[in-house]
Amino acid sequence: MSQNCSPQQLIQFVNCRLVRNHQLIVDDLWVRDGKIINPEPVFYDERATANQRIDCGGAIIAPGYIDLQINGGYGVDFSYDKDTIEAGVRKVAVSLVGSGVTSFCPTLVTSPNDSYHTILPRMPRRIEGGAGILGVHAEGPFINPQKKGAHPANCIQTIDNGMETLRSTYGELDRIKIITLAPEQVSDANVIDELVRAGITVSLGHSMASLSDGERAVRHGATLITHLFNAMLPFHHRDPGLVGLLTSDQIPPGRIVYFGIIADGVHTHSAALRIAYRTHPDGLILVTDAISALGLEDGIHHIGQLPLEVKQGRAFIAGTDTLCGSIAPMDECVRIFQRATGCSKVFAIEAATLHPARCLGIEREKGTLDFGSDADFIVLNDDLQVLSTWIAGERVYKSSN
């Protein structure tokens, strides 16, 4: 790989295979002004040649990974480090590029209202040299206390007064991109319609919802399920719960219900990954749901309210055998998922690129290598190891291997 290039330069990546149109194609990638461009007008109208040609050595070029659910990492907890949130988000954004993530949604677990009012206005919108921030994923507080997981029970709320409840809880909504809620905790489902009109993706999770509860929420505009199989009723043949949305015949025509799934080798059994993949592949989105211990070495770490112990690639509450969250980076999740399901490399990549982009409605800018898309991409070897990461046409990470 070459040295960094000026974003105004015309850059041609050669000797590479592109993830494009659901397949690997042998072609060059052309980049200028932070965008992926069509080279034909360059040849025929401008009669220009590349300022720089970069030989990729036969590697794969894929869109950059998009993580819709990440609670922190590298010693930072987005929900608890509210007084240093700007520096914390910056640290995570710069670190994530090493795992191929070029865009993410910082995720806040259920918190007191004053935490939201402090954190959300201070959430950075852009980090130089780091992964882009798509908006906050507010995972709670409108969840079911019976499926709270690690969320603090004393902060859980219900939506009793529509958008007024949401504004009093979060403050302004303009920094929020996704809200996870339990549909049975919403007295008037019309609030889901209002959130969708405001440009917010509504996700269903941490819930005791029946299938009919989920179908009602989808009819009102919900389009995502938060970490499928985790923090919801298990599949039952008489009422499959939210899991049943993957095969429901009550989904509005043309609507895709997406679902996040954690393929870290711990939270979701490989058989469950295969069930989800074979049942509803179009909706499958890989998420890390990573916690502050992501990227930390083995040992005891004092982060948030409880000391954590990292050992052998897993995070535990220190001194116990209780798992406390995922610490697998996105590139590892992609590899685990591909091995577990036997899917193509392209599908595994698209589950972390195209699918999350489509879910958020940003597929014209992110998640593809189409002409006009942002030049956020990664270079991979055949084992799906990240060789380099590029954001807006500039290299922000290069592997030392």
First to last CA, the chain: 12
State the average pLDDT for the chain: 94
Every domain range in the chain assigned CATH 3.20.20.140: 65-360
| Banded model confidence at residue 232, pLDDT cuts 50, 70, 90 | very high
- Kindly tell me if the per-residue pLDDT of 298 is higher than 50: yes
Residue 340 assigned ligand-binding role: no
- Kindly tell me if the per-residue pLDDT of 1 is higher than 50: no
Question: What's the pLDDT score for residue 321?
Answer: 80
- Kindly tell me if the per-residue pLDDT of 115 is higher than 70: yes
Question: What's the pLDDT score for residue 69?
Answer: 98
The larger pLDDT score, comparing residue 298 to residue 47, is at 298
Question: What's the pLDDT score for residue 376?
Answer: 98
Question: What's the pLDDT score for residue 6?
Answer: 56
Question: What's the pLDDT score for residue 312?
Answer: 83
CATH topology of domain 11-63+369-398: Urease, subunit C; domain 1 (2.30.40)
Question: What's the pLDDT score for residue 344?
Answer: 98
Residue 228 assigned ligand-binding role: no
- Kindly tell me if the per-residue pLDDT of 304 is higher than 80: no
Of 228, 232, 227, 225, nearest to 147 (Cα)? Answer: 232
In angstroms, the CA 350 to CA 135 distance is 21
- Helix/strand/coil for 236: coil
Give the model confidence (pLDDT) of 181-226 as tens digits. Answer: 999 999 899 999 999 999 999 999 999 999 999 999 999 999 999 9
Residue 302 assigned ligand-binding role: no
Residue 323 assigned ligand-binding role: yes
Q: What would the two tokens of residue 133 be?
A: 């921030």
Every domain range in the chain assigned CATH 2.30.40.10: 11-63+369-398
- Kindly tell me if the per-residue pLDDT of 2 is higher than 50: no
Residue 93 assigned ligand-binding role: no
Residues 59-72, mean pLDDT to the nearest whole number: 98
**Could you say which DSSP state residue 237 is in?**
S
Question: What's the pLDDT score for residue 319?
Answer: 85
Question: What's the pLDDT score for residue 253?
Answer: 95
In angstroms, the CA 131 to CA 224 distance is 23
The helix or strand, by DSSP H or E, that contains position 302, with its residue range, turns out to be strand 299-303
Phi–psi pair at 275, nearest 5 degrees: -60, -50
CATH topology of domain 65-360: TIM Barrel (3.20.20)
| Banded model confidence at residue 229, pLDDT cuts 50, 70, 90 | very high
- Kindly tell me if the per-residue pLDDT of 369 is higher than 50: yes
Is 289 one of the annotated active-site residues of the chain? Answer: yes
- Kindly tell me if the per-residue pLDDT of 7 is higher than 70: no
| Banded model confidence at residue 44, pLDDT cuts 50, 70, 90 | confident
In angstroms, the CA 385 to CA 40 distance is 31
Task: Indicate the length of the chain as a whole number.
Answer: 401
Residue 395 assigned ligand-binding role: no
In angstroms, the CA 82 to CA 229 distance is 30
DSSP 41-88: HIIIII----SEEEEEEEEEEEEPEEEEEE-EETTEETTT-GGGHHHH
In angstroms, the CA 155 to CA 141 distance is 7
Of 90, 87, 92, 86, nearest to 72 (Cα)? Answer: 92
E-strand ranges in 136-205 read 136-139, 176-181, 201-204
Query: Measuring CA to CA, how many Å separate 401 from each of 301, 377, 385, 386, 398?
Result: 28, 19, 10, 10, 9
Residue 56 assigned ligand-binding role: no
DSSP 310-338: EETTEEEETTSS-B--B---HHHHHHHHH
- Please report the sign of the dihedral spanned by the C-alpha atoms of residue 184, residue 190, residue 196, residue 200: negative
In angstroms, the CA 96 to CA 88 distance is 12
In angstroms, the CA 54 to CA 60 distance is 13
Residue 308 assigned ligand-binding role: no
Give the model confidence (pLDDT) of 309-358 as tens digits. Answer: 898 888 888 888 877 789 999 999 999 999 999 999 999 999 999 999 99
Question: What's the pLDDT score for residue 163?
Answer: 95
Give the percent of the chain with pLDDT over 90: 84
Q: Is 392 exposed, middle or buried (0-12, 13-18, 19+ CB in 10 A)?
A: middle
| Residue in 67, 77, 264, 289 annotated catalytic | 289
Calculate the CA 118 to chain-centre distance.
23
Question: What's the pLDDT score for residue 4?
Answer: 56
Residues 268-281, mean pLDDT to the nearest whole number: 98
Q: What would the two tokens of residue 155 be?
A: 């902060």
